[in-house]
Homo-oligomer: A and B are copies of this chain.
Amino acid sequence: VQTAIRATGYAPNISARRLAQNKSFTICILMYPGFYQEASEMLSKIMDIGYESNYDIMIQPYFPPHSRSRNKLVSLIYEHRIDGFVITPPCDADEFVSTLLTTYKVPQVQINPINRTSQIPYVAGDDYQGAFSMTEYLIGLGHEKIGFLKGPRNMRASFDRLYGFRAALDSHRIPYCESLIRDSEWTFDGGYAMTKELLLLGQETPTAIFAGSDEAAYGAIYAVQELGMDIPGQISICGYDDISFSKKIWPSLTTVHQPAEENVELAARLLIDILKNEPLKDNKILIPSHLVIRRSTGKAPTA
C-alpha cells in the first residue's frame, strides 16, 4: 500500500494535519544573538533531529532591547505556531520570557539555566568541574598568579566557572587575589581590554590568564600579541567552550570542550519526547566536560 501511495505522488498536506490536531509540529530554539558563534554547525544536527521526528525547527533570536523580539515571541505562542521551546542562555534569565512561557504553559527545555531548582527540564554542562580541571592543569604547569575573566551575571556558567577556578586554587593553597579577577562579559572586546589591564599590574602581572570563554580568550590573545609578548613562553592563555575556531588560530587555544551542538541536540530531543508524551528517563541532564590541550599554554616562566 505504502508503495502504491508513493507511486501516485501522494503526500499529506501538513497544514491540514496541523489544523486538525491543533498542533504545529514545530519547536522553537530561542537564541541570544552572538552567543552561539558556531550556529552553522549546530544547524545540521538540529535539522537532522527535526527530520527524524517529523518536527520543524525554527530558530528565533531573542534580543530583549528590541520590543520586536518580544512581540514575535508572543505571536508565536498566540498563533499556535510553536509547540515548545528550547531556551538557550541567557534567555532563561529574561523575565519576560519566563513569565510568558509559564503563564501559557508552553513546554520548554532550558540549556544551562540560571536556576536549576525549578521543575523545568534542562540540559547543562558541568562548568564547575571543567573550570576546576583547567585550573589544576595550569597549576600543574607552575602557574600561581592566574588572571580570570568573568562572564555576564545572567548566565549560570559565569558563576560555576568562577567557583571551579576558585575551588581549585583553594585546594592547592594558592591565594585568591581579587585584582586578578576581571569582568569581561565574555566578549572579544572585554577580553582584550581586561587583559591589557592585567598586563599593566607590574609585579603582580599574571603568568597565565584563564579567559572564561573562548571568545574572551581571543581578545586576550590579541592584546598579548599586540604587546609583542610570546604565548605560551611569557604568558599562557586558555579559554572555555572549544568553539571551532579555537583550533584554527595561532597559537591554537587550550580550552575546555563544552559541546554546544550536543547540548542543543539533547535539549531538542528531550523537548520532542516531552511533546510526544514519551516516557523519559531523566529530564535533567548534566554533561561532563573535558580539557583540550593545545599550544596556547605552557610552563610558567621561571622568574
Bound Cα distance A58, B25 (Å): 13
Task: Give the copy number.
Answer: 2
Closest to A81 in B: B14
Q: Is A40 an interface residue (CB 8 A)?
A: yes
> Hey, which chain B residues are within 8 Å of A9, CB to CB?
78
Bound Cα distance A34, B42 (Å): 10
Q: Is A47 an interface residue (CB 8 A)?
A: yes
Bound Cα distance A250, B72 (Å): 39
Most chain B CB within 10 A, of A56, A79, A250, is at: A250
Bound Cα distance A249, B296 (Å): 14
Closest to A231 in B: B250
Report the count of interface residues on A (CB-CB < 8 A).
Answer: 55
Bound Cα distance A75, B51 (Å): 10
Which of the 9-residue segments A59-67, A141-149, A176-184, A273-281 touches chain B? A59-67
Q: Is A19 an interface residue (CB 8 A)?
A: yes
> Hey, which chain B residues are within 8 Å of A218, CB to CB?
245, 248-249
Contact (Cβ within 8 A) B40 A44: no
Which of the 9-residue segments A108-116, A203-211, A219-227, A283-291 touches chain B? A219-227
Closest to A244 in B: B37
- A19's partner among B15, B72, B75 (CB-CB below 8 A) is B15
Given known A14-B81, A24-B15, contact A188–B248 (CB-CB < 8 A)? yes
